[in-house]
């Protein structure tokens, strides 16, 4: 079941998202949270840091799994998702570094790297709350539009539109990696609850297809219609382009 919530603006969206995440952690301090990168959840992370600073939220017992990582980037690379999460969230809260999990971006054996992540997810007992953004092409994590869905952690060639969309973070398009390692659709669907955020009107079409289109691997997010507990949080700008 997908519940759509419209927040007035990006700030309100970020605050509401932070309340949902904080509620999960307060109800179950040892929650397993799936984190996402991208510009959209930045406000959420800012709010979580603020809650922590105010003494209202502790992540001391939380375990985290990030959705994806670029292949070929070291953890220290300025554009690695590992670094993004440290800079924007982990360094500013009381999270235990041992409980932070990322798929490996640098590896000699890709299959082994994917299997290792699967084992870590399994050992943690799965994800309680998965945060998601959405690509303008309907991707979630780095599950790009395809002929079929891949369920488990895998290595994926990035769609040209995704590389272009993410080029803003790199010196130029050529620097954007061509591959990523990502949780699969099955990993995401196994999460007990999902919170998807969209705050840019260029995402409206993807959000619309996700909400009301047919379930289609060409719009990977559409599969979320089959999940029992999904909250889609959009700002008014996105909502204005939706027909629900
Ligand atoms: C990247 C990430 C996704 C993210 C998407 C949207 O490709 N792999 O997890 O949801 O971009 O990013 P943004 O929020 O910056 O638009």
What pTM did the predictor assign?
0.97
* Distance from residue 139's CA to the centre of ligand 1 (Å): 8
Q: Is the beta carbon of 70 within 6 A of some atom in ligand 1?
A: no
Check if the beta carbon of residue 80 is closer than 8 Å to that of residue 69: yes
Q: Give the pLDDT score at 117.
A: 98
Specify whether 139 is catalytic: yes
Ligand 1 within 6 A of CB of 37: yes
Is 3 an annotated catalytic residue?
A: no
> Cα–Cα distance between 197 and 168 in angstroms, integer?
20
Catalytic residue among 139, 154, 187, 190, which? 139
8 is catalytic: no
Residues of the chain with pLDDT under 70: none
Distance CA 238, CA 235 (A): 6
User: Which pair of tokens denotes residue 44?
Assistant: 């959420």
Can you tell me the distance from the alpha carbon of 15 to that of 28, in angstroms, rounded to the nearest whole number? 20
Ligand 1 atom closest to the CA of 200, numbered from 1: 16
Whole-number pLDDT of residue 244: 76
From 14, 17, 133, the mutation candidate for ligand 1 (largest count of ligand atoms within 8 A of CB) is 133
Given ligand 1 and candidates 37, 168, 206, 224, which is best to mutate, with the most ligand atoms within 8 Å of its CB? 37
Between CA 236 and CA 145, with CA 160 as vertex, the angle to 5 degrees is 65
């Amino acid at each position: 079941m997908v519940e759509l919530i419209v927040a007035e603006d990006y700030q309100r969206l970020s605050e509401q998202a932070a309340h949902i995440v904080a509620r999960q952690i307060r109800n179950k301090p040892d929650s397993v949270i799936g984190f996402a990168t991208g510009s959209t959840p930045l406000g959420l992370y800012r709010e979580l840091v603020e809650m922590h600073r105010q003494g209202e939220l502790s992540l001391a017992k939380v375990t985290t799994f990030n959705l994806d990582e670029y292949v070929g980037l070291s953890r220290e690379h300025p554009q690695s998702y590992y670094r993004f999460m440290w800079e924007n969230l982990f360094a500013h809260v009381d999270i235990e570094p041992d409980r932070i999990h990322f798929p490996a971006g640098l590896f000699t054996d890709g299959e082994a790297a994917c299997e290792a992540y699967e084992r870590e997810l399994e050992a943690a007992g799965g994800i309680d709350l998965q945060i998601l953004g959405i690509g303008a092409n309907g991707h979630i994590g780095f599950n790009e539009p395809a002929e079929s869905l891949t369920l488990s952690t895998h290595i994926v060639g990035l769609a040209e539109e995704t590389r272009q969309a993410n080029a803003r973070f790199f010196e130029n398009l050529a620097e954007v990696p061509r591959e990523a390692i990502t949780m699969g659709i099955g990993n995401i669907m196994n999460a007990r609850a999902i919170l998807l955020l969209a705050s840019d009107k260029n995402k409206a079409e993807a959000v619309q297809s996700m909400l009301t289109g047919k379930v289609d691997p060409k719009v990977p997010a559409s599969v979320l219609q089959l999940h029992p507990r999904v909250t889609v949080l959009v700002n008014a700008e996105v909502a204005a382009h939706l027909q629900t």
